[in-house]
Amino acid sequence: MEKLLDYINEFYFVNNLKNNTLGTIKIAILREVTGNLIIRSNYPDETITFKAGENKDIVEIPARKLKSREKLLGLKICREFNVIDNDFRYNVVKKSEQLGNPNSILFGDSVTESNDAVGITSRAIYDWAYSIRDVDEITGTLQHNALSEGGTMWNEEEGKLRQSLFQVQYIKPGTLFPHFITVENITPELFIHLLSCILFENRYGAQSTTLSSNMKNHILGFGLAKFEQPVNSYSISKNWDSGKEVTFENVKSAINGAMQTVYGENNYKDAQDVISLITELWGKDDKKGLQEIYTKAKEDCVKFLTDIHVCKQK
């Protein structure tokens, strides 16, 4: 924690989760598609798009499609360090006491199976992600065949070809999405939990049980201010110079430039030292440092629920 607080001033964290104070941290991320990514909603065969101008139709990823995957990974991490109720299941919270864990307090949660309608708001606010390039440049279409046991389209019972065909549009590898997450009123321990969830999640979108890893998340920096500043994925895409090549370095430079403009160079911190700290913690065999972090986070979460009378003091 001392290393983290040397890098990000303690002003931007809270000691007591009940506190509601000024101070936000905006995390700048460049999400790089590394495998076929299926993002769909109303139509089963079409990617979600947004018309960003008269001649520009871009791909958009709703915040929940990113947050849900990272929240689910966070649940697994909490189980690893035994800081969550054994009966807790994702989106199935049976009693208010189960909310006393780092994942629920960070990402938000609610009781779903009792008369106790407790709801915990999220402390991690996710932006929607928008592509830089036009949808026609970064998507393709796959046709899927429902094969028989013999591996062919032949229907043995009917003696004719099967008609089980369907198409799905996917986002091609190499596509880049600027993205931002803003956090407020969190402890340093919860901040490390969030960054771990972002760094180590790499599978998003539909058909995630059949597709392999399809996204790499690059955390670029942290914007520090009393108030959240107006920069988001859409503004990066909208203001992109159409004559400029869309490369990883160019998009990274655009994100860093936008953050430095609104936060100032002194209040926009490069993330690499913090990322190195987290990867070092996870690289150790004994995980003692991480266990201490998660145990402290658990204690803070239980105290918070006790202070607001969601849970009774034991």
**If the chain, 314 residues long, is cut into consecutive pieces of 10 residues, what is the mean pLDDT of each piece?**
91 95 97 93 75 86 96 96 90 84 94 72 97 94 62 63 68 97 97 98 81 92 97 95 95 98 96 96 93 97 92 67
Q: pTM of the entire structure?
A: 0.91
Q: Is residue 152 part of a domain?
A: no
- What is the domain range of residue 281? 2-38+48-132+176-307
| Residue 298 resides in a domain | yes
pLDDT at 52: 83
In the chain, the number of structural domains is 1
- Has residue 151 been placed in a domain? no
In a domain, 145, yes or no: no
The predicted structure's pLDDT at residue 26: 98
What is the three-class DSSP state of 3?
helix
Closest Cα partner for 281 from 174, 211, 188?
Answer: 188
Residue 150 lies in a domain: no
Q: Looking at residue 81, what is its pLDDT?
A: 97
Q: What is the pLDDT of residue 311?
A: 77
Residue 160 lies in a domain: no
Asked whether residue 109 is domain-assigned, the answer is: yes
Residue 143: per-residue pLDDT = 64
**Residue 126 has what pLDDT?**
98
Q: What is the pLDDT of residue 309?
A: 86
What is the pLDDT at residue 253? 98
